[in-house]
């Protein structure tokens, strides 16, 4: 185990590489999921607030 | 392709793809990590530092691959006025930028013990650094315009112009003298890596690609909903203005 962590003497280089890559990719994933949820909630809330007559053309309401 | 220019239909497709992409990413990255760190042999020249390859190479390939996808999506948006393509390009940029940053950073951490330096201004390293700046510039350009249609257009043109850099990165190790080793995966003669390292590397590449797809689905979904919200607010503002004018 110690030998594994030691990485033939290159531990700082190897573990920093893996650590930062993991941190960045996990961070980006979490931020993307949160942003998608927040944006979905907001647009659905706004849609519900829209006056009734404007919602007639539903189904093709994507711009 | 035009079928998926409708955001609602696109979101349905994205939802169908998401579980597959997410599971593939989790399984391949998990296996690849254990294999690459624990079971792949150390290199006869580079020792254990060769394990950095299992992140560095997939990150580099995806930094370029995501950019190519971004350029294609941008062209599609410009030529066919495809309603989702520009959002795919926009959603891709931060992922590509993260891959590019990881590539530069792990390259540096690999260069120090093997070349004796963190950085050299040679063609390969410099052209990848330029790719990173193009990603940042592309994202900044989207923020620079109030009008989203104008922003999409300007950003798409930048993405297309910046695509010149991609073949330069790929062939830089052949055209110029460099410390960086030449390609060993995508060559005319096929991969020149031993299978004990090739398999975990391939797993990691698939994992990075599936990770990109997973994150992309979330980011495009966010962009589509953000655009809808903006649209509804604009309509409301128009109505408000019309009512005030009528009074």
CB contact under 8 A, A46 and B229: yes
Tally C-beta pairs within 8 A across A and B. Answer: 110
Provide ipTM, 2 decimals: 0.89
Instruction: Tell me which residue in A21, A28, A39 faces B226 most closely, judged by beta carbons.
Output: A39
What pLDDT does A52 receive? 62
**Could you give the CA distance from residue A59 to residue B167 in angstroms, rounded to a whole number?**
43
| DSSP track, B33-58 | HHIIIIISPPBTTTBGGGGGHHHHHH
What pLDDT does B8 receive? 85
CB contact under 8 A, A13 and B109: yes
**Average pLDDT over every residue of A2-27:** 86
- Give the residue, B109 or B1, on which the prediction is more confident: B109
CB contact under 8 A, B232 and A46: yes
The model's confidence at residue A63, banded by pLDDT at 50, 70 and 90, is very low
What pLDDT does A62 receive? 47
Q: How far off is chain B from A10, nearest CA to CA, in Å?
A: 6
Q: What is the pLDDT of residues B41-83, one digit of tens each?
A: 878 777 788 889 999 999 999 999 999 999 999 999 999 888 8
Partners of residue B8 in chain A, C-beta under 8 Å:
62
How many Cβ atoms sit within 10 Å of the Cβ of residue A1?
5
CB contact under 8 A, B102 and A16: no
A15 touching B (Cβ < 8 Å): no
**CA torsion, points B236, B242, B244, B247, in degrees to nearest 10?**
-140
The residue whose two tokens read 């940042």 is B136
Q: What is the pLDDT of residues B117-161, one digit of tens each?
A: 888 888 888 999 999 999 999 999 999 998 888 999 999 999 999
CB contact under 8 A, A46 and B228: yes
Residues in chain B: 247
Q: Which of B51, B209, B69 is nearest to A12 (CA)?
A: B51
**Could you give the CA distance from residue B154 to residue B27 in angstroms, rounded to a whole number?**
38
Task: Answer whether B203's CB lies under 8 Å from B31's CB.
Answer: yes
Q: What is the pLDDT of residues B187-231, one digit of tens each?
A: 777 777 778 788 899 999 999 999 999 999 999 999 999 999 998
Nearest chain B residue to A37 by CA: give it: B222
Q: How far off is chain B from A34, nearest CA to CA, in Å?
A: 9
**Could you give the CA distance from residue B225 to residue B231 in angstroms, rounded to a whole number?**
10
End-to-end CA distance of chain B: 47
Q: Which two tokens stand for residue B121?
A: 């201004």
The model's confidence at residue B1, banded by pLDDT at 50, 70 and 90, is low
CB contact under 8 A, A16 and B110: no
Share the mean pLDDT of chain B.
89
């Amino acid at each position: 185990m110690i030998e594994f962590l030691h990485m033939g003497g290159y531990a700082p280089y190897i573990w920093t590489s893996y650590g930062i890559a993991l941190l960045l990719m996990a961070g980006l994933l979490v931020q993307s999921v949160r942003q998608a949820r927040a944006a979905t909630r907001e647009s659905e809330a706004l849609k519900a607030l829209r006056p009734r007559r404007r919602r007639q053309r539903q189904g093709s309401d994507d711009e | 392709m035009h079928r998926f220019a409708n955001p609602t239909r696109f979101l349905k497709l994205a939802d169908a793809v998401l579980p597959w992409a997410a599971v593939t990413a989790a399984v391949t990255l998990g296996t690849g990590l254990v294999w690459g760190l624990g079971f792949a042999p150390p290199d006869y020249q580079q020792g254990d530092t060769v394990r950095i390859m299992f992140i560095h190479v997939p990150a580099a390939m995806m930094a370029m691959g995501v950019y190519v996808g971004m350029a294609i999506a941008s062209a599609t948006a410009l030529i066919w006025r495809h309603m989702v393509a520009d959002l795919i390009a926009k959603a891709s940029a931060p992922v590509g930028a993260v891959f590019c940053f990881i590539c530069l950073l792990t390259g540096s951490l690999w260069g120090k013990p093997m070349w004796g330096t963190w950085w050299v201004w040679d063609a390969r390293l410099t052209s990848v650094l330029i790719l990173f700046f193009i990603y940042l510039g592309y994202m900044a350009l989207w923020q620079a315009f109030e009008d989203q249609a104008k922003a999409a257009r300007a950003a798409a043109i930048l993405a297309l112009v910046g695509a010149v850099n991609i073949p330069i990165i790929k062939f830089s190790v052949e055209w110029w003298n460099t410390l960086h080793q030449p390609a060993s995966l995508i060559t005319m003669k096929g991969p020149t890596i031993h299978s004990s390292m090739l398999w975990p590397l391939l797993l990691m590449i698939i994992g990075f690609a599936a990770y990109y797809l997973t994150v992309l689905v979330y980011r495009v979904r966010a962009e589509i909903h953000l655009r809808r919200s903006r649209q509804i607010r604009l309509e409301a503002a128009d109505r408000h203005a019309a009512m005030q004018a009528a009074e």
